[in-house]
Amino acid sequence: MARLKRVAPIGVAQHVIQRGNNRQVCFSDEHDMKAYLSWLGELSKKYEVEIHAWVLMTNHVHLLCTPKAEMAVSKMMQSLGRVYVRYFNHKFGRSGTLWEGRFKACLVDSESYLLEVYRYIELNPVRAKMVEDPGEYSWSSYQCNALGRETALRTSHEVYARLGRTQGDRLCAYRDLFKAHVSEKLIEQLRRCTNSGVPFASERFIKEIEELQLGRVSALVPGRPRGE
């Protein structure tokens, strides 16, 4: 099956993942992670991308973000990939590629699935058995979204903002979301959608995007989320 054309409407959230080539390590220590997040902050502002959630794992990265300009996510990820590879290669005296081809991404139906993607991303270290609680992991957005740690990198999505009237209410409501883990079925659906570029969305959302883009953005993928 031919790969779907990447569709990235302005104002529509995306789940983005980029892996190390052949699952190789792309973050060797906290200095690497600090460098990556610093450049992510700079480049997200430069290319007008709002970053809502993130996690840096040893050999891959997850982001939940919303572009505010044309092709903004692609421009940000390409620039970020290049600058980080130069840094990493210089640090370890290596050459060549670090990333596994182009990044993968899917549109996210904000009203139906956005908070599930927040949880999926920030629970990565728990699923990997690196920590027992997401708040123990410093290289995700959980400490910001759930515990109130300040950072210029994060922009709250409007769906997150509706969790409560005050910051305290929002933090409490967000932590409550993590009392239950994301289902294995939903995890598999999100992974499939991201790898294939199919929207993680209701059928109505997909139809609206296809009408907006004047072309197909979906494929016949078993298990794609359906309904509201």
Please tell me what DSSP assigns to residue 101: S
- Stretch 220-228: mean pLDDT: 42
Q: What pLDDT score was predicted for residue 216?
A: 57
Q: What is the CA radius of gyration of the chain?
A: 17
Q: d(Cα 196, Cα 91) in Å, to the nearest integer?
A: 33
Extract the tokens encoding 127.
């699923």
Query: What's 181's DSSP letter?
Result: P
Q: Which pLDDT tens digit goes with each residue over 122-159?
A: 999 999 999 999 999 999 999 999 999 999 999 999 99
* 104-107/60-67 β-pairing: unpaired
Higher pLDDT residue, 76 or 212?
A: 76
What are the backbone dihedrals phi and psi of residue 146, each rounded to the nearest 5 degrees, phi first? -110, -30
Unique residue bearing structure tokens 């995007």: 209
Residue 218 and residue 200 in contact, taking contact as beta carbons nearer than 8 Å: no
How does pLDDT run across 71-102, given as a tens digit for each residue?
A: 999 999 999 999 999 999 999 999 999 999 89
Contacts with 222 (C-beta within 8 Å, 6 or more apart), sequence order: none
Question: Does the pLDDT at position 184 exceed 50?
Answer: yes
The model's pLDDT over 45-63, given as tens digits with 9 standing for 90+, comes to 999 999 999 999 999 999 9
The domains located in the chain, with CATH, are 14-206 (3.30.70.1290)
| Cβ pair 7, 217 in contact under 8 A | yes
Count of CB atoms situated within 10 Å of the CB of 150: 7
pLDDT value at position 6?
A: 77
Strand partners, 19: 60
User: In sequence order, what are the residues at sequence separation of 6 or more whose Cβ sits closer than 8 angstroms to the Cβ of residue 95?
Assistant: 89
The model carries a pTM of: 0.91
